[in-house]
A = this chain, B = another copy of it.
């Protein structure tokens, strides 16, 4: 009987722990088929450095509480495995650690990069004579994985952005006669406008202009649109993606620094946009940058999202016990109204390193709003509320014990 390994990868979300809960609770239902579930401390780095957390030492109540706790309960990391050619030793180390701890199932909970790692581990383990069933569990607020209808984590961010846009717009609407007329909210989404699109879910009586990363920023038509809204509604709300670019390709928000993956580090598109409006139109503004608040906001999670995140973790274990390998359980939408979905299954070779962009018919012709097709797609994803329990006014989020498994191998330098 083999043990399992579970790790969280990349930026965490409000519901990635719900997937963890789904994996661990489901594994606990099959004590004769699956051994212990070990979790990587801080993601895949925990496997490479043999820092494994023994989840069997966590209580049932704490594993259940993961379902309502945001962030990565076992720690996550931004650590992209190099290519197999460039650093085969890292992949081999992974498989050695798995072998040393009798791990036969690899559940990797992340986005496109981790789907790729998952695929390589499956392939290499076979060629090394220690075959591991590698199952990817989708997670990303960016909603950019193929095959699955949507990605856990996204629905809750979308709900947060839609509700926040609505609430701030109500605020500005009631002050606009004598005070602030412009509110700018900056949201995540470096390459795709999925999150920004959620700002368009508010009632059409609220004038929202969206700046998508897919559409070059056209200052003139943007200012005309904002001015028209202020004249017609008395105010205007702008939802700007951190990934919005000038026609020359520079980010509005570019700060000149880069992260460990070489991506430009962003932040501050909102004040840039607000000041452009102030300078040209003279309107008083306020701006907000939601940053981590949006992806950590478990207090406002979408019920669809929580349920799907859990179900995908559950399905991952069931698929593993069915003998599946190199796959990812996925959300398949079967009906919009009423919203219905089921769990399907995709091949990792079709998922790894493929980025799903917003369909072009989801953005209005003028580039500043979402279309009815987009609304029809997004609305079910923010459906339902799923509140955490509270104690003394604050959410009762769990912090796990994270007891380590004894090491069996020599240290490994990252």
Contacts and interface: CB of A to CB of B under 8 A. Distances in A.
Interface stretch (A123-131, A143-151, A174-182): A174-182
A402 to B, nearest CB: 11
Given A167-B298, A170-B71, A290-B293, A175 B379 contact: no
A299 B161 CA distance: 12
Interface stretch (A307-315, A350-358, A389-397): A389-397
A79 interface: yes
A128 to B, nearest CB: 26
Contact of A392 (B298, B383, B399): B383
Given A288-B290, A291-B287, A393-B302, A177 B296 contact: no
Given A166-B395, A173-B71, A268-B271, A292 B286 contact: yes
Given A171-B12, A202-B394, A271-B268, A178 B287 contact: no
B167 A293 contact: yes
A398 to B, nearest CB: 10
Interface of A: 8, 11-12, 14, 42-43, 45, 69-79, 159, 162-164, 166-168, 170-175, 177-179, 183, 185, 201-203, 205, 259-260, 267-268, 270-271, 284, 286-293, 295-300, 302, 379, 382-385, 387, 390, 392-395, 397, 399
16 contacts: A71-B170, A71-B171, A74-B174, A77-B178, A162-B393, A163-B299, A166-B395, A167-B299, A168-B291, A170-B397, A267-B286, A267-B287, A286-B291, A290-B293, A379-B392, A382-B393
